[in-house]
Structure 1
Amino acid sequence: MDSEHVEVGWADTAVARFHYARAGTGPPVLLVPGAGGWRFSFEALIPLLARSNTVYALDPPGQGLTEIVDRSFPYGTTAVASSIGSFLDAVGAPRTAILGHSWGGGFALRFAELHPDRVSRLALIAPGGLDVKDVWEFRLARLPPFGELAVRIGPARSTRHLLRKSFAHPERVPEHRVGDLVDMLRSPQDRATRLRQMLRVERSVRWTTTEQNLHLVTVPVLLLWGSEDRILPARLVERFTARLPTVDPHVISGGGHALHDDCPHETLALLAPFLKADHA
C-alpha cells in the first residue's frame, strides 16, 4: 500500500463500531488520541509513520464517529482501554506498538497493564495515567449541563480554545482542524447517541488504578513532553519515571501539549527510531 494513501473505514465488534484510518505497510502501530482530539489529531503524523509501519489511527469509544454498541459497556478507564483489544482483533493485529497522546496515552498504559502480551512498545506524548486534577475546562465538561452546552451549542468556540491552549507556537495551530472536528460533532449519523457517549466517557474516566499499576508496564516506553504544556505540566515526567520500569524520557524545549504538531521535527526525530526497533 502507498504510504501516502490513507484509508478510512469501520471495524465492527461486540463492543463498538470503531471508526479509524489505516495507512502504510510494516509492523503495526496504533495511534490513540487524547480527549477531543480524535484521529484528526494525527493527520500530519500518519503519512510519516506509514513510510515504515502499518498505521492505525483510532477514534476510541467516546470519540469521533465510533459508536459503543454494547449496552452493558461500563465506560471508565478500564472499559475504554480494554476495548482496544477488540479493535486489534477486528483488524488482525494480535500485537502492536502503541502511540498515545494525552488521555490516549493513559488508555495505552492501562491496556499495557491489562494485556502486556499484546503491546510491543509504548510511545507516549504528554500522557494521562496519573491521578492528578484536570484543567478547569475538562472539570467543567463533567458537570451537567455545561458539557452538553459545549458540545451542542458552542463546539467551534470550545474546540478552538482547547486547540490553541495545546500549542506553544500559535502560528502552528492547524485552524482547519476546528472545522473538521465541529463537522464530526455535528454529523447527523447517530449524533445524539455519540454525544451522550462522549460525555459519559468524559465523566467516567479516572486514573487512580492506572497509576497504581504502572510497575506492570515492562515494555520499552518513550515518554515525550513539551516544556510549555498548559494541559498537563512537564513536571509530571518525574512521576512517570519513578514508576515505569523501562522509560526513556525527553522534555522538548518550547513544546506545548500537542507536541507532535507543535514541534513536529523534534518529535519525529525521537519517535521514528523508537518505533523502528519493532522491525528487528
Structure 2
Amino acid sequence: MASDDELGRSVLMGEGLAAAVVSTAQVRFSYVRAGSGPPVVLLPGAGGWQLTFDALVAELAASHAVYAVDPPGQGGTRVLDSDYGYDADAVASSIADFLDAVGLSSVAIVGHSWGGGFALRLAELRPELAGRLILLAPAGLDVPDVWEFRLLRLPVFGELAARFTSVASLRHMLRKSFARPDRMPSDEVLRSAATALRHEPSLRRDMLRVERGVRWRDTERDLGLIGCPVLILWGDRDRYFPVRLLDRFAHRLPGARTRILSGAGHSLHDDCPAQTYPLLKAFLDSPMEDL
C-alpha cells in the first residue's frame, strides 16, 4: 500500500479542473466534474470542495464520474432566491435540485463534516437520490458546535470576522482539523479563500446565514428513515467532532458500517489517505447486494 506521503494532496486545481456552473430555481451552483464511470457526488465541509476534496477528486476520477459541489454558503455557489430558507432542509433540498439539474439519481454521495450532515438530510428527504452514503466525520447530530463556529452566529461579530478573514485565521481553523499540520492546504490556497470572503459580500452573506440557520435536530430524529447502505469513517484525533459521536450514529443507524482511523484528525481523508482511500473506494465499488 502507498504511504500517506505518496498519496498526498495535489495543489489546488492541480489537475487543471475548471469550475462549471448550473442554476436551479433558488441557487447557482459551482462544481467540477472529472473522470468517467459510475457517478459519485462529493459534498465538502466548510470552505468548499477545493479546501476539502481537491485530492480526492483526482483519486476517484480514475474510475468514476466525480461531481464535487460547493453547497450554498461555500466556494463559488450563490443563493439567488431572497426567500431561500438557509436551514438544513433548504440546503439538502437545493442539493437535490442540483442532482436533478445535472441528471443524476440514486448516486453515491461522499460527505465530509457538514457535507455529511447535508448528505444525511438529503437521504431522509429524497431517498431515491441516495444510492449509498460515505460519511467522513459527519455532522447530523443535535450537539453543540465548537466555539469558533458559535462565534460566527453572533450579530455584528460574525460579519466582522467574515469581512476581515485572514490567512492566519483560516490556518487556525484548518490546523485544528488536521492531526498532521504538514498535510494542510498551502498558504496560497488559504489566501485565495480569504480573498473571496473579504471581497465577495454574497459569499459572506450566504456563509453566515447557513451557519446561523442550520441545526441538526430533525436530521438526527429522522435517521431511521435512511434505507441506503452507509459507511462512516472517523479519525480518533478529531478536534471538531469527537470520535465518541460515532457510537451515537451507530445506535441510530444499526446497519451502517463504521471504522475509526488511528492518528487521523477531522480532515481524515487528507490527513491519512492511505487508510481512508481504500475503505472509501471498496465501499463505492462493492456490488449493492454485498452492502
With normalisation by structure 2, the TM-score equals: 0.90
CA distance, structure 1, for counterparts of residue 157 and residue 178 of structure 2: 24
Corresponding residue of 1:270: 279
Question: C-alpha deviations, 1:145-185, integer Å up to 9, x for none?
Answer: 22112211133222111111000112211224312322332
Written as runs of structure 1 = structure 2, the 5 A alignment for 1:159-198 is 159-176=170-187, 177-186=189-198, 188=199, 191-198=200-207
State the shift of 1:91 in Å. 1.1
Corresponding residue of 1:120: 131
State the shift of 1:218 in Å. 1.3
CA distance, structure 2, for counterparts of residue 238 and residue 27 of structure 1: 31
Deviates more, 1:175-184 or 1:76-85: 175-184
Corresponding residue of 1:233: 242
Corresponding residue of 2:28: 17
Question: C-alpha deviations, 1:192-229, integer Å up to 9, x for none?
Answer: 12211110111000000000000111111110000000
Corresponding residue of 1:206: 215
Corresponding residue of 1:69: 80
Which SS does the other structure have where 1:11 is aligned?
strand
State the shift of 1:89 in Å. 1.3
CA distance, structure 2, for counterparts of residue 108 and residue 38 of structure 1: 14
CA distance, structure 1, for counterparts of residue 49 and residue 211 of structure 2: 13
State the shift of 1:37 in Å. 4.2
Q: Of 130, 150, 161, which aligns to 2:141? A: 130
Structure 1 vs Structure 2: percent identity of aligned residues?
55
Written as runs of structure 1 = structure 2, the 5 A alignment for 1:78-89 is 78-89=89-100
Letter aligned with residue 120 of structure 1: G
State the shift of 1:83 in Å. 0.7
State the shift of 1:279 in Å. 8.5
- Is 1:147 paired with 2:158? yes
Q: Which runs of 4+ in 1 moved over 4 A?
A: none
CA distance, structure 1, for counterparts of residue 76 and residue 17 of structure 2: 17
Question: C-alpha deviations, 1:239-280, integer Å up to 9, x for none?
Answer: 000001421100000100000110011100100111112689
Corresponding residue of 1:252: 261
State the shift of 1:28 in Å. 0.9
Kept in 1: contact 2:231–2:256 (CA 8 A): yes
Kept in 2: contact 1:215–1:245 (CA 8 A): no
Which SS does the other structure have where 1:110 is aligned?
helix
RMSD: 1.6
Letter aligned with residue 130 of structure 1: L
In structure 1, the gaps of 5 or more residues are none
Which SS does the other structure have where 1:234 is aligned?
coil
Corresponding residue of 1:158: 169
- Is 1:223 paired with 2:235? no
With normalisation by structure 1, the TM-score equals: 0.94
Number of equivalenced pairs: 274
